[in-house]
Amino acid sequence: MAATIKDVARACGVHVSTVSRTFSAPHLVNPATRSRVLAAADDLGYRPNRAARALTTGRTFNLGLIVADIANPFFPPLIKAAQAQARGRDYHVFVADTDEDPRVEEELIRTFTKQVDGVLLCSPRLSNRMIERLAEDVPFVVVNRRIKGMPAVLMNVAQGAKLALEHLSGLGHRRIALVSGPIGSWTSNEMQGVAAETPGLDLVFFGPNQPTEAGGLGVAADVAACGATAVLAYNDLVALGLIEGLAAMEIGVPDQISVVGFDDILPGRLNRPKLTTVAMPAVAAGRMAVDLLLQSGGEGATVTLDTALIVRESTGRAQK
Amino acid sequence: MAATIKDVARACGVHVSTVSRTFSAPHLVNPATRSRVLAAADDLGYRPNRAARALTTGRTFNLGLIVADIANPFFPPLIKAAQAQARGRDYHVFVADTDEDPRVEEELIRTFTKQVDGVLLCSPRLSNRMIERLAEDVPFVVVNRRIKGMPAVLMNVAQGAKLALEHLSGLGHRRIALVSGPIGSWTSNEMQGVAAETPGLDLVFFGPNQPTEAGGLGVAADVAACGATAVLAYNDLVALGLIEGLAAMEIGVPDQISVVGFDDILPGRLNRPKLTTVAMPAVAAGRMAVDLLLQSGGEGATVTLDTALIVRESTGRAQK
DNA sequence: AAGGTTCTTGCAACCGGTTGCCATCACCCG
DNA sequence: CGGGTGATGGCAACCGGTTGCAAGAACCTT
């Protein structure tokens, strides 16, 4: 059994409160006593039980981070940035994956309640109403979702979509397919909103889709059939799946169809053709989200980060 | 403030112990009372505080999962399998990333102690001695490492390496480069061991390397210069980086050099050329690790899972 | 030397639950 | 009608810490 505070107290003949103070308020205990306690603690391999401590102090020094799909290469940089930032503030980050299932998402949030000091909710699939309700039990920072009065880190998807559409129309594309993501995705809505407002385009919507290669593969045939010469995909994974699907039908990218993705994930950079994409500031977002959560006071501060279009090889001039 | 058990007890005029039993031993409380309690609890939005409960019961119904690098596509399938398996047993999984740093790994394990019922340690970088010491504080299952008396899930790397080497030598390759991974990696040692024991090969070792694209890119020039016609890479990420690096030097794969990876991650399947690789049973490993951890009794059971060679496009006949 | 400070440490309540033990009570049986 | 039985729920100790309060000791003042 692991040593408890009592064992240490007994071992050096002081009261448990003295041991407790040795760790959480060292200046309140006599240097001589302190070193005796430390020696005994070290000897027994004592580590304060964080769960017990949290019970009285109300602080765990843990943060929760919830993502829809840990297999999506978009998240790891964000997660790592959040972890690094948290570590600098003596916090640890626990990550959990919802498998794109809102019910799992809710359950995970409930599980995190009281075990972490706050939750980073990335690209949630829950409804705003539900998130607001859950926010009564544990502080949130939401990433990629705007909810009134709740601290959020947003990526400027609208701006990115605008850049992508301008790029495509500059290449002579008029009929453009919009391959959206899952239901409940704020990003998806933003993209569609911008596209709909851009004049001079002939848009075809496809959705909802899984935000994965499978999703892209699944719509490839429809996209090919609709006569669009360019595609704006929900994210890079979808774009890659789409390109794969088009290749299977002997449709060349970018020769016959241009494809733009979102996120700028690593596989997109390694793919042939290298993917043209809207880069999301995932690292900055992870860092910022942790800051917002910790400095808190947390009054609904909203941070919006800019995106950038990265032109590579999957887009080209429209065919006549 | 979130409602506590006392609030519920007061709200329906019973003792806290009755409320407690309503949730953790319903058959011990009168149906009429029970429904009164449930109604009050529902009304107040009461949820048992899991940290407090853990304090008395000693069980959290959480598992910790530690990986060296969450950005490595090898891990997500394992993580997801573990989560799914755990969920089926009413457990939740918290994931943490060590950034390949043994010190962070140790700290994370310490943090997990008492906050989870057990830890899945995947591809650890800590020394065996240290892992054994830490195992006194929290139950472990180790993945990809053999430690005496400790439950482990191993993937048969030796067998996979053997298959890969046979494949290469069957294609006429004799001088083969071995690009290893980081220090402290059991997998790396296994690979080298098998290679060294295989007769008739002319081996060149390169290592240690980061287990990422960057690692592969970094050794590309050395590999090209060493005169090998084939490479066995520590993992797919390294293999992909290597191919990228070779491409930059106008060295074709598989025309001039054949490359075999390990893991069978998604980007390897999308890459051109599609990667020949040794598939690791990540999903089975995740599931199995959770089973071992939970069914426990945990006496050092060791499970070894088979690997398989998947021949795709990155290997070909040796050049004369 | 009396009275006031400042340190140091023990005491005990508390955080939010769980659980063994016991008292009560209704019900059943002979 | 007395005693046995099982169901029900309160009491209080406990899990492993934290912290406000107060007592005692040491030190300082005048």
Q: Is the shortest CB-to-strand distance from B25 to strand C under 7 Å?
A: yes
**CB distance B271 to A271 below 8 Å:** yes
Percent of chain A with pLDDT over 70: 98
Averaged pLDDT, A45-54: 95
In whole angstroms, what is the distance from residue B102 CA to residue B111 CA?
Answer: 14
A214 close contact with B: CB closer than 8 A: no
pLDDT tens per residue, range B229-262: 999 999 999 999 999 999 999 999 999 999 999 9
pTM: 0.93
**Residues 145..204 of A with a Cβ closer than 8 Å to B: which?**
none
Taking only the tens place, the pLDDT of each residue in B63-104 is 999 999 999 999 999 999 999 999 999 999 999 999 999 999
The one-letter amino acid code at B253 reads: V
Residue nearest to nucleotide D13 (CA to C1'): B56
Q: Which protein residues have any CB–strand D distance under 7 A? A: A 4-6, 16-17, 20-21, 23-25, 46-49, 52-53, 55-57; B 13-18, 28-34, 52, 55-56
Determine the average pLDDT of the residues in A170-199: 94
Closest Cα of chain A to B279: distance in Å?
17
CA angle B235, B237, B242 (to 5 degrees): 95
Q: Which residues of B touch A107 (CB under 8 A)?
A: 92
Terminal-to-terminal C-alpha distance of chain A? 76
Q: Does the CB of A60 sit below 7 A from strand C?
A: no
Q: What pLDDT does residue A207 have?
A: 87
Q: Is A77 on the interface with B (CB under 8 A)?
A: yes
How many Cβ atoms sit within 10 Å of the Cβ of residue A227? 10
- Set of chain A residues whose Cβ sits within 8 Å of the Cβ of B74: none
- Using a CB cutoff of 8 Å and minimum separation of 24, what contacts does B140-148 make? B140/B293, B141/B289, B141/B290, B141/B292, B141/B293, B141/B298, B143/B78, B143/B285, B143/B289, B144/B186, B144/B187, B145/B121, B145/B186, B146/B186, B146/B302, B148/B300
Is the pLDDT confidence value at A287 over 70? yes
Residue A262 has pLDDT above 70, yes or no: yes
* Res B49: pLDDT: 96
Helix axes A16-24, A31-44, angle to 10 degrees: 100
Give, in Å, how far the C1' of D18 lies from the CA of A236: 50
- Whether residue B1 lies within 8 A of chain A, CB to CB, comes out as no
Do A103 and A118 touch, CB atoms closer than 8 A? no
> What is the pLDDT averaged over residues A199-215?
94
B296 touches strand C (CB under 7 A): no
Asked if B139 and B296 touch (Cβ cutoff 8 Å), the reply is yes
pLDDT at A297: 59
Instruction: Say which nucleotide is closest to residue A31, CA to C1' distance.
Output: C8
Measuring from the CA of residue B29 to each C1', which nucleotide is nearest? D8
Q: Contacts of residue B136 in chain A, CB cutoff 8 Å?
A: 2, 45
Q: Return d(Cα A111, Cα B60) in angstroms, integer.
A: 10
Q: How far apart are CA A182 and CA A214, in angstroms?
A: 12
- Asked if residue A304 lies in contact with residue A144, where contact means CB atoms within 8 angstroms, the answer is no
Report residues 265-284 of A contacting strand C, contact meaning Cβ closer than 7 Å.
none
Q: Which of B115, B120, B135 lies closest to B81, judged by CA? A: B120
User: Closest partner residue to A114 among B50, B84, B99, by Cβ?
Assistant: B50
User: Rounded to the nearest 5°, which phi and psi values hold at B256?
Assistant: -100, -35
Q: How far apart are the first and last CA of chain B?
A: 76
What's the residue count for chain B?
320
CA gap A315, B4 in Å, rounded? 58
Residue B267 has pLDDT above 90, yes or no: no
Angle at A95 between CA A92 and CA A100, to 5 degrees: 160
CB proximity A97 to B under 8 Å:
yes
Residue A77 scores a pLDDT above 90: yes
Question: Which pLDDT tens digit goes with each residue over B102-159?
Answer: 999 999 999 999 999 999 999 999 999 999 999 999 999 999 999 998 999 999 999 9
> Which of B2, B92, B244 is facing A96, going by the closest CB pair?
B92
> What domains sit in chain B, N to C, each tagged with a CATH number?
5-48 (1.10.260.40), 60-155+282-306 (3.40.50.2300), 157-280 (3.40.50.2300)
Whether the per-residue pLDDT at A131 is higher than 60: the answer is yes
Token reading at A84? 């690094």
Please say if the pLDDT value at position A298 is more than 70.
no
- φ, ψ for residue B47, nearest 5 deg: -130, 130
Please tell me which residue of chain B has the smallest CA distance to A272: B272
Instruction: Please name the residues in contact with A43: beta carbons below 8 A apart, sequence gap of 6 or more.
Output: A11
Site from B70, B240, B259 to mutate, A interface, most A CB atoms within 10 angstroms = B70
| DSSP 8-state secondary structure symbol assigned to residue B98 | -
Whether the CB of A57 is less than 7 Å away from nucleic strand C comes out as no
Computed over every residue of chain B, the mean pLDDT equals 94
Beta strands in A230-316 (DSSP E): 230-233, 258-263, 276-279, 302-305, 308-310
pLDDT over 70 at A162, yes or no: yes
From the CA of A40, how many Å to the nearest CA of chain B? Answer: 18
Where b means 16+ CB within 10 Å and e means fewer, B119-138 reads bbbbbbbbebeebeebbebb
